[in-house]
Each structure stands twice: as C-alpha cells, then as structure tokens.
C-alpha cells in the first residue's frame, strides 16, 4: 500500500500512459500527475474556468483525460500529449460518473434524469439510455465487452443500494447484488463508484461503510479488497490500472458538511 500526498479534496483519479492523474478541488493546478513507479510528482495542470468537479476518467486510445463538472453540466477533455485542455462540451444534464467503453466513447451517468449519455471523443452525442425502474439514484456505470452495463446505485435516503447488471438496451436488470442498505457482506450504504478488470470482476466503492468490495463477473460476493482499517477517511472514487494491477482509491476528510482534505491510497491487487 502506498499513499499519494494529502492536500485539497480529491474529486477523481485515473491512470494513463504510466502516469496517475489526481483531480483536486481548488482554483489552480487542479490536476496533479505522478509516475506509476515511484509516485513522484511530474507536473501540475490548470483547467481554466471550471468548478464543481465530480469525476475523472481516461482513454488510452485517444490519450486524453476527461473531467466532469456538475455546476456547468459539462465535460472537459485534457490532451495528455499537449498537456492542456483540448475539448469542451455541454452534457445538458448534470453529470455524476464517467467511464470509457470499448468503442472509445465516453459514458456519462446523469443521476437526476436517470440516464446514461454516450458521447464521442469530440462531444457528439451517440445515444441516450434510460435506466429501468429498478435502478434508483445511479452514480456510475461501465460497459462490458458484451455491451451490457454494470451500474451502482443508491442514495442515503433510498431503500435500495445495489450493483446491477443491465441489458445493452438499458431496459432490463439482469442480475444485481445488494438490497436494503446495511453493513453485511451482501449490503451497501451508498455504492458510489466502480472499476472492472479484464475478466469482468467488479470493484465497488461502498462510501458510508468505508470499504471496497470485489464481486465476480456474475455479481457474487468474493471479498473486501479495502476495509475501513486501510483508509483514514471516506472513499469516493477509484481507478484500476489493469496493467500494473494497482487500485487507486480516493480518501477524503468530511468536516462540517463538506470535504476539507483528501489523498489517494494505492493498493496492489
């Protein structure tokens, strides 16, 4: 286990081209870039005119990093080679979670409207999917190789907190794990973010229980890969580097109704 430096709250983490990108909530130098070997700080990037960060992901094919802003309802694309903001587009709904699919398109989970919006790398809307009624308060979704979707859902006030597998057309829940919120191995309390490996094993951030759970490709419980003893504060986002088998988990301090500090904890999987 390794820990990147503490600082401002961390709103997202992703890996790209043997580097780790950390997104912090501040006015300048919001993106910190570390190497994946010694975790030395390589550079800082400033994203102009942006606030309200909620997530970050990357695309190896286009060598870019995407940032979601839910104040302005937009996506910002950072060109990894140019080391600057390259693209910007409006989602027209409030984005919450980001992921990239096998077609190298960006999937944007929009909780309020209960949808996934798929965009090309240039921000062209490819399609929209509305989640079935069984998916309440969706936070993050990822697309599998067979085009089915894995989605985590459940707000603190919701009766159901689950991870679900949804058909490619978004109409049916095929399988789910979880149910009523709780702390047992078959329960969650705000499952907020996902990662999926090459064999379609699923890593789930369980925010209020301060842990990360590992599920099989059929969404059966395997074990906890991160426990509350491994964390100092509250996990919110995660990223799995499939090549190095390292799991990056954001860990943020909550005080007086806001996040006040954050770091990234690195686990070998």
Instruction: Count other Cβ atoms within 10 Å, centred on residue 8.
Output: 19
Q: Note down pLDDT in tens along the chain; length 269 residues.
A: 899 999 999 999 999 989 999 999 988 889 999 999 999 999 999 887 667 899 999 999 999 999 999 889 999 998 877 666 678 899 999 999 999 999 999 999 999 999 999 999 999 999 999 999 889 899 999 999 999 999 999 998 899 999 999 999 999 999 999 998 888 888 999 999 999 999 999 999 999 999 999 999 999 999 999 999 999 999 999 999 999 999 999 999 999 888 999 999 999 99
What is the predicted pLDDT for the residue at 87?
83
* Cβ atoms of 109 and 148 closer than 8 Å: no
Alpha-carbon dihedral 128, 131, 136, 139, rounded to 10 degrees: -40
Consecutive H or E run containing 143? strand 138-143
- Nearest Cα neighbor of 102 from 52, 63, 61 is 61
What is the reported pLDDT for 68?
Answer: 95
Range of the domain at 147: 131-230
pLDDT at position 49 is 66
C-beta separation of 149 from 170 below 8 A: yes
Q: How far apart are CA 67 and CA 112, in angstroms?
A: 19
Q: Is 31 within a domain? A: no
Q: CB–CB of 22/10 below 8 Å?
A: yes
Burial 172-204 (b: 16+ CB within 10 A, else e): ebeebbbeebeeeeebbbbbbbbbbeeebbbbb
d(CA 104, CA 121): 7
Domain total of the chain: 1
- With H, G, I as helix, E, B as strand and everything else as coil, classify residue 192: strand
- 242 in any annotated domain: no
The alpha carbon dihedral of 193, 98, 162, 148 has a sign of: negative
Residues 60, 126: Cα–Cα separation, whole Å: 20
Contacts of 202 (CB under 8 A, 6+ apart): 150, 163, 194, 195, 196, 214, 215, 216, 217, 219
CATH assignment of the domain containing 200: 2.40.10.500
155 in any annotated domain: yes
> Considering the domain boundaries, does residue 181 fall inside one?
yes
Q: Does a structural domain hold residue 49? A: no
In a domain? residue 5: no
Question: Is residue 88, in this structure, part of any structural domain at all?
Answer: no
Model pTM?
A: 0.95
Distance of CA 262 to the CA centre of its chain: 16
> What is the structure's pLDDT at 183?
83
Q: Is 8 contained in some domain?
A: no
Give CA–CA dist 174/113, Å, rounded.
21
Contact 107, 116 (CB under 8 A): yes
């Amino acid at each position: 286990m390794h820990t990147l430096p503490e600082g401002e709250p961390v709103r997202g983490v992703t890996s790209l081209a043997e580097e780790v990108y950390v997104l912090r909530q501040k006015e300048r130098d919001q993106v910190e870039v570390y190497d994946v070997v010694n975790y030395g700080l390589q550079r800082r990037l400033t994203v102009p005119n942006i606030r309200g960060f909620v997530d970050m992901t990357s695309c190896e094919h286009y060598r870019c990093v995407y940032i979601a802003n839910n104040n302005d309802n937009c996506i910002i694309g950072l060109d990894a080679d140019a080391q600057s903001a390259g693209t910007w587009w409006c989602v027209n709904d409030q984005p919450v979670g980001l992921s990239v699919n096998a077609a190298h398109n960006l999937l944007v989970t929009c909780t309020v409207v209960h949808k996934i919006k798929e965009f090309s790398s240039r921000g062209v809307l490819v399609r929209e999917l509305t989640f079935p009624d069984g998916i309440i308060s969706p936070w993050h979704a990822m697309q599998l190789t067979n085009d089915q979707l894995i989605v985590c859902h459940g707000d603190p006030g919701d009766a159901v907190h689950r991870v679900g597998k949804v058909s490619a057309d978004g109409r049916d829940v095929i399988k789910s794990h979880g149910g009523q919120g709780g702390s047992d191995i078959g329960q969650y309390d705000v499952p907020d973010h996902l990662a999926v490996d090459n064999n379609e094993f699923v890593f789930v951030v369980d925010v209020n229980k301060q842990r990360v759970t590992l599920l099989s490709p059929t969404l059966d419980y395997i074990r906890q890969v991160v426990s509350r003893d491994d964390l100092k504060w509250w996990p919110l986002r995660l990223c799995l580097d499939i090549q190095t088998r390292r799991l990056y988990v954001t860990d943020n301090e909550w005080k007086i109704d806001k996040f006040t500090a954050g770091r990234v904890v690195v686990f070998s999987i």
